[in-house]
Structure 1
């Protein structure tokens, strides 16, 4: 019994598979590869600012052709954090002309990374700045009151990153900072103090020459005012302290890199937004003592897992301080170390090996 009609019997090849047309899928049929362009013609640029997926970079630094260029990131860098201070490899339209857009295709190896976390329980790091070698911590003697514990956190982050810390105390006409500064006597910090209109700009500027310095501080301490005095073209917004809450208003909303030009040379100022907290969840406490090279050598004789805190049993550091083997300022430095380590007293050291 045939289901073919009278007009179908001679059309046996109507449904021949050779007549079926396939629509090609170039993406599916293309061989997979992990090869990326070499970008041998890429130029090295300094990242000066980051704003919603666009990066202001400086090309041909310190040459007659120096220019600022706006760039975006290459697709292969979509999971890579690009931050102020990075040395980026840039291709495309690097003219810097209005409407031009270059592309960042790589990041040079970083010499340092200053990081923070949301809080001490969060081990997800947020990179603040790359390749800085100094941190200038700005605090006020009053209005708002100085917070030694916040400064401790800045110091821990700096020591963890291998960055030299400096300290500026503003508004000394409102309060005497002597008692506050005693907390840091054992650290060998270079300290600058100033009244409202008597900022030691020459001394601070001299410390900036030849360095990349990240400025950090609580909101309302006068950090942006200091930046504007050091770099008059910066035009960073300044604010005031709320008389009710005692808190400063966040005025600098983004991190920006600025060139400092002084009588003795130039340097880089990296101004960051004011913060009221600084999480250290990413830091391994075991690395903090490494920044105290003189104490670290003595600590080699401590029992395994020693916290070096005042109640630590058989701590070689405590014993050496008691019998004077740490030297004339050894006890002060041990006290400073213990204060920093106390920040982590409720945490277990991480294994970063």
Structure 2
């Protein structure tokens, strides 16, 4: 026989009456809400070194007498804003940096630059990689894996779009001569640093990095994180090898981290990638990454798309006269077509 609850008139049998009913208080409270927020005048300024699952490692009082690394979370009012490596932020709460303490980021300071990418050229959603960098160090290998001109072009487009000065570092020069590949960018006035046989070009890179915040990017397996480990001893960034079958590098570094270079400046190591989407960039800005072509394109008719089917395009005339290389113009047009389509 199943049990049935008693009727209302039988509540007395369980000893219940109206006084046993609890009234739930108003969960929102009775105090009126206000848009006034504290100004956090006592906030500490810091540099975001890394981001990991809602926790932000921040260096406070940089270069000061009480320089320290603290762990923080974000304030509720910043929940819709991305906080990325390189950001300058205001931090309140326990900023001592002692083990077990947790401070709070309450404000993101104005950014000078933003390096962005998208998943692919059809994705209009931008993903911010780093903030406040003023140099982009494009690391390529002379071989194993083979360098890709179009990937370097994409890095250059992203750098010029963000207002960041690019430079190219070539590794594994003992495996192949990078000269023919670098000829693709000879007219762009981009500084190039080559590794010597069996040694990193640390002495040459030191004055270039000093006084700057440099973000390192590159195809998986080119030796980018190994170079960062050489520049900042004791960092122990994960490194990997190139797959002998596919010729592709294996993803090793999985996070973006900002590191202080002992000889001066900061370097931000990013995970290796095999593609770099530019779907968020206006195609009209692509020409800025090809300064050698931009000078010629200034003579194009108004509204010229610079594509292969564009009538009276000055780029075609320059190729026919030998002023521009056909492969260089082709690379530019392929990139432009992928963005336009």
Hey, what's the Cα distance between the residues in 1 that align with 2:271 and 2:303? 37
Give CA-to-partner distance per residue, 1:241-272, whole Å, 9 cap, x none. 1111211121111011000122xxx1000000
Distance 1:26 1:311, change over 3 A: closer
Match of 1:75 in 2: 76
Q: How does 1:173-322 map to 2 (within 5 A)?
A: 173-262=174-263, 266-290=264-288, 296=294, 299=297, 302-316=300-314
Asked if residue 342 in structure 1 is aligned to residue 340 in structure 2, the reply is: no
- Structure 2 unaligned regions, length at least 5: 1-21
The residue that corresponds to 2:130 in the other structure is 129
Secondary structure at the residue paired with 1:183? helix
- Structure 1 residue 211, shift from structure 2 partner: 0.5
Q: Quick one: distance in 2 between partners of 1:123 and 1:33?
A: 36
**Contact persistence 1:144–1:221 (CA under 8 A):** yes
Scaled by the length of structure 1, the TM-score of the pair is 0.83
Q: Take 2:155 and 2:45, find their aligned partners in 1: how far apart are those partners?
A: 30
Contact 1:153-1:340 at 8 Å conserved across structures: no
* Contact map agreement 1:187 1:336 (CA 8 A) in 2: no
Q: CA RMSD in A?
A: 2.5
What number of residue pairs does the alignment pair up?
320
Contact 1:49–1:84, Cα closer than 8 Å, also in 2: yes
Q: Compute the displacement of 1:348 (Å).
A: 3.4
Q: What runs of 5+ residues in structure 1 fail to find an aligned partner?
A: 1-20, 325-329
TM-score (norm 2): 0.86
Residues of 2 paired with 1:314 and 1:251: CA distance?
48
Q: Report the Cα distance in structure 2 between the residues aligned to 1:224 and 1:233, rounded to whole angstroms.
A: 12
Q: Give me the whole-angstrom Cα distance separating, in 1, the residues matched to 2:288 and 2:143.
A: 33
CA contact (8 A) 1:139 1:170 kept: yes
1:206-239 per-position Cα deviation (integer Å, ceiling 9, x unaligned): 1101110000111111111111111102111111
Measured after TM superposition, the shift of residue 116 of structure 1 is 0.7
User: Structure 1's 103 and 310: CA in aligned 2 closer, same or farther, altered over 3 A?
Assistant: same
SS in structure 2 opposite 1:261?
Answer: coil
Partner of 2:28 in structure 1?
A: 27
User: CA separation of 1:170/1:322 partners in 2, compared to 1, >3 Å: closer, same or farther?
Assistant: same
Please list the CA deviations of residues 287-322 of structure 1 after superposition, one character each: whole Å capped at 9, or x if unmatched. Answer: 233456786576455334312245432335555787
Q: 1:336–1:59: structure 2 CA closer, same or farther, 3 Å change rule? A: farther
Q: Shift in Å at residue 163 of structure 1? A: 0.8
Mark the CA change 1:110 to 1:323 in structure 2 (over 3 Å): closer, same or farther.
same
Partner of 2:324: 331
1:32–1:303 distance in 2 versus 1, CA, 3 Å: farther
